[in-house]
Amino acid sequence: MVNLGLFSGAKRAKSVNVRFRLPYYTHWGQSLVVCGSDSLVGSWNVKKGLLLSPVHQGDQLIWCGSIAVSNGFECEYNYYVVDDNRNVLRWEKGNRRKVLLPQGLQGGEVIELRDLWQTGADAIPFKSAFKDVIFGRSSTLSIERPLGNFIHSLDEDDSVLVHFKICCPNIEEDTRIYVIGSSSKLGQWKVQNGIKLSHAGDSIWHGDCILQFSDFPLKYKYCKYGKAGVISSEFGQNRDLLLDASNFPPRYISLSDGMLRDLPWRGSGVAIPMFSVRSDDDLGVGEFLDLKLLVDWAVESGLHLVQLLPVNDTSVHGMWWDSYPYSSLSVFALHPLYLRVQALSDNIPEDIKLEIQKEKVELDGKDVDYEATMAAKLTLAQKIFAREKDSILNSSSFQKYLSENEEWLKPYAAFCFLRDFFETSDHSQWGRFSQFSKDKLEKLISKDSLHYDVICFHYYIQYHLHQQLLEAANYGRKKGVILKGDLPIGVDRNSVDTWVYPTLFRMNTSTGAPPDYFDKNGQNWGFPTYNWEEMSKDNYAWWRARLTQMSNYFTAYRIDHILGFFRIWELPEHAMTGLVGKFRPSIPLSQEELEREGIWDFDRLSRPYIKAEFLQDKFGAAWGFIASHFLNEYQKNFYEFKEQCNTEKKIASKLKSLVEETQLQNPDQIRRSLFDLIQNIVLMRDPENPRSFYPRFNLEDTSSFNDLDDHSKDVLKRLYYDYYFHRQEDLWRKNALKTLPVLLDSSDMLACGEDLGLIPSCVHPVMEELGLIGLRIQRMPNEPDLEFGIPSQYSYMTVCAPSCHDCSTLRAWWEEDEERRRRFMKNIIESDILPPSQCIPEIAYFIIKQHFEAPSMWAIFPLQDLLALKEEYTTRPAKEETINDPTNPKHYWRFRSHVTLESLMKDKELQATIKGLSLESGRSVPHDEAKPASKPIPVDVEAKKEKSSLATKSNGIPQKETLAVT
């Protein structure tokens, strides 16, 4: 091996040689750099860091380098992968490393730091979800010996001091960690004679041992010695320790051995929107304080996590449209809908208490009445505010909250006042207040203003929402239950954020998704796209503040539409559907590129291709009437849209007027047909660069494409495939690696990414690199050749679920399609018998059990799917339990559970069934020392007439033995 870092005798006499050593495979043109807090390793400037050199050792590529330091030297450092120009390509995750030298080193000594690259997955145990909630007991262990405290010194010339260091984040009380190995100094594989390690804090255990040269090569491993003398060794092959074949082998080796190779932790949870929770105390909708009871139910059911939809204020329109939880009025403000008015004061007068009770009765409906509930809560809150505003607003608690949140809270309160004053959230209609400025803001919120009480009322509501959600979040932490939030990909076009930070958004665009499982015509969410270039100028401060705010309440979160951080489906602002869009960023087809391929007629390809025969087919005898109002004939039998009708929004507006004037029949069908015509294009011209083009999604489905000559078809099909599946991959990967790490580093919450839909090949490698947990829904498999996902084959870094809020529930899905039921019965349950038409409890049990037994880190179930385990909870029609219909942009999000939390707390049978599934599948449960007395079974359904048979193996794959189900 190359002798690295040799110094002259004079140099060695005065300094210590620190060697860095890391096994890591790189691609051609890539190198490794050590960069850290000291100037010798670049002072955190990677371009000035220590460039390492590669050496092959067996089948490993080892990167090495050294620096000469004075005795007592300390610094932090990390490893970075760079290109030939030292541009950072990736960096390791997790905590910063530390150089801590043994005391009493003589000049010229060599200490070698043998490290392992820290992946995103390695950092997961240190996220607050695990560190503070799941593994909370481990974090309270006392420090036995701090890092850098070496208890041995070297005397003999042929000896080496080896310092062992291992990370063990999940340690039960009274558990000890040992290192054992092939040397007699390591007990010759006997734990009682091995080296007992000491806890150094932050889940690190360490110890040192003096070995002779003859002890090498050394084989060793770590093991746990627990209660009652139970010994468990780490999994996998023994670890190896070789001495470098150099003239000056190190006398001190510090081994950073990464994570203890233990059984991977697996947990389970329940998902339900906040608005869907029902309790005896709520006022027509779930409330933040209900989460305490939901946490109690989760604990009793053996669940470690409660997952919510976004809880930010969405009060944009002042009507039921605001029930859409992903269209934020403010990404910082909480939704007044979830306020418990009874908890606003300890001194609510009797007349207001009676009014609250009256509203409780009137609002206790099957579904959420969004408008009535909002009106009732705000009216009641205003009455209580009027009585106690002075005491609350002058309290030290409120003043502290205002001081810590004024950066977003003051603009939010001003926006709400202006929204109500002008009767619109469209801030372009606010006259001189259309353009935000701090001077205008200060005047609006001034104590001298006539509307100061209105401003303070919004402060007051947010303060109490904060207190109530924080109380619930702290309760969950104490009980060992993670509260998981949701990070929407967009904000409403008419929001506080677009008003205060207009340069951060492309207001002439709209976000959505291309055609996928949810909608064959694509989706248009209406949000403006992000101006990432502008956001990068302050290192994404808006995003960092947003994540910091979330972490006040949540220890885990779901990143909605994580693909949007690689690329977003961008539509023109005037679009209503989601079909005719393009990806941003993306590399377009250039006019030169197309011309080289023999494509010349760009007007023909990029304008709607409308022939008279198309009009006759779509509109029949009425085609002439439609053409006269919407189209011009620019040449014989060829038409184009009139100027006042040449966008989807213009068409909708014109059609609405026409219906009012003429009583036109079937306007929805006419609109769809007109949209088909305006979408009948092959290429879209870039509005910012007329020599750049984007192929329309599914261009082969258009009659415009089908009327082309064969050469043009072949060229455009090839370029289409290249645009959507090849040329963008490196660009999108780099884009995600600019933005996602900033989000992930903004807090210590556990991050999960919703990666459903059309997935570019670059996505999952980036998610793996960053330690992002993906989502697996059985009916939407990632594998193109599968109709149904196979939970037993999911990877560990996933959340698995049988359904989610964007699709039908397990029961509804089962009942929707008879032929699909049969295929599921045959291919997954491995039975040829006729499946029951209803999703009876034993069918639900089989599917849910599959997910519990999956290797996924998390199995998270919508509450509706867990209730399907018991027949008495399946009386409500399954279709009514669906939370969202992604194909309907005006869907009313109003599902409310038909079972109260208090009732669920009394149902010990259901709790035992769910907890039994967790325990039997090897998943962790809160306080899992409490084992069930007997195996819970699903509810008896023998009275059913339809019968089936199924049973499962421990891995979720069916066995041939049968159990009667109906």
The CATH number assigned to the domain holding 386 equals 3.20.20.80
Tell me: do 255 and 274 sit in the same domain.
no
At 104, the pLDDT band (50, 70, 90 cuts) reads: confident
pLDDT of the residue at 946: 36
Is 850's pLDDT higher than 70?
yes
Average pLDDT over residues 865-892: 94
Tell me: do 256 and 294 sit in the same domain.
no
CA dist., res. 563 & res. 736, Å (int): 9
pLDDT of the residue at 5: 35
pLDDT of the residue at 284: 97
Tell me: do 337 and 449 sit in the same domain.
yes
pLDDT of the residue at 957: 30
In a domain, 866, yes or no: yes
CA dist., res. 550 & res. 547, Å (int): 5
At 661, the pLDDT band (50, 70, 90 cuts) reads: confident
Q: Provide the angle, in degrees to the nearest 10, between the axes of the packed helices 370-393 and 350-363.
A: 160
Tell me: do 337 and 233 sit in the same domain.
no
C-beta separation of 618 from 612 below 8 A: no
| pLDDT digit string, tens, across residues 399-413 | 999 999 999 999 999
In a domain, 803, yes or no: yes
Is 959's pLDDT higher than 50?
no
* Helix residue spans in 589-641 (DSSP H): 591-596, 602-606, 612-619, 623-630
Is 724's pLDDT higher than 90?
yes
pLDDT of the residue at 13: 45
In a domain, 706, yes or no: no
Q: How many residues does the chain have?
A: 966
CA dist., res. 111 & res. 66, Å (int): 10
Q: Higher confidence at residue 214 or residue 949?
A: 214
pLDDT of the residue at 515: 86
Number of domains in the chain: 3
DSSP H or E run through 912 = helix 908-920
In a domain, 356, yes or no: yes
At 247, the pLDDT band (50, 70, 90 cuts) reads: low
Q: Where are the beta strands (DSSP E) in 802-936?
A: 858-862
Tell me: do 238 and 298 sit in the same domain.
no
Find the CATH number of the domain harbouring 197: 2.60.40.10
In a domain, 792, yes or no: yes
In a domain, 631, yes or no: no
Taking all residues of the chain, what is their mean pLDDT, rounded to a whole number? Answer: 91
Structure tokens at 634: 């620019």
Q: What percent of the chain has pLDDT over 70?
A: 93
pLDDT of the residue at 222: 97
**CA distance to 24, 726, 734, 762, 771, per residue, from 765 (Å):** 17, 15, 12, 6, 10
pLDDT of the residue at 71: 83
Tell me: do 241 and 273 sit in the same domain.
no
Average pLDDT over residues 450-476: 97
pLDDT of the residue at 136: 81
Is 649's pLDDT higher than 80?
yes
Is 947's pLDDT higher than 60?
no
Is 950's pLDDT higher than 50?
no
pLDDT of the residue at 964: 28
Give the burial class of 132: count Cβ atoms within 10 A of its Cβ; 0-12 exposed, 13-18 middle, 19 or more buried. middle
Tell me: do 348 and 463 sit in the same domain.
yes
Tell me: do 311 and 215 sit in the same domain.
no
Which range is least confidently modeled, 99-108, 243-252, 491-500, 948-957?
948-957
Q: What percent of the chain has pLDDT over 90?
A: 81
pLDDT of the residue at 785: 86
| pLDDT digit string, tens, across residues 540-576 | 999 999 999 999 999 999 999 999 999 999 999 999 9
Average pLDDT over residues 61-86: 94
Tell me: do 339 and 254 sit in the same domain.
no
Structure tokens at 350: 């009797």
| pLDDT digit string, tens, across residues 578-622 | 999 999 999 999 999 999 999 999 999 999 999 999 999 999 999
pLDDT of the residue at 72: 83
Tell me: do 830 and 854 sit in the same domain.
yes
Tell me: do 348 and 219 sit in the same domain.
no
Average pLDDT over residues 856-863: 98
In a domain, 102, yes or no: no
CA dist., res. 609 & res. 227, Å (int): 76
Is 255's pLDDT higher than 60?
yes
Tell me: do 244 and 297 sit in the same domain.
no
Tell me the pTM: 0.90
Place of tokens 């909250």: 401
pLDDT of the residue at 246: 62
* Helix residue spans in 312-434 (DSSP H): 350-363, 370-393, 396-422
First-last CA distance in the chain: 69
In a domain, 3, yes or no: no
At 886, the pLDDT band (50, 70, 90 cuts) reads: confident
| pLDDT digit string, tens, across residues 825-841 | 999 998 888 999 999 99
Residue where a domain terminates, one of 436, 471, 486:
486
pLDDT of the residue at 758: 76
Average pLDDT over residues 442-450: 95
Give DSSP secondary structure letters for 489-537: S-B-TTSHHHHH-GGGEETTEEEEE-S-SS-TT-EE--PPEE-HHHHGG
Q: Higher confidence at residue 491 or residue 174?
A: 491
Is 361's pLDDT higher than 60?
yes
At 174, the pLDDT band (50, 70, 90 cuts) reads: confident
Pairing label, strands 798-801, 858-862 = parallel
State the residue range of the domain holding 255: 119-264
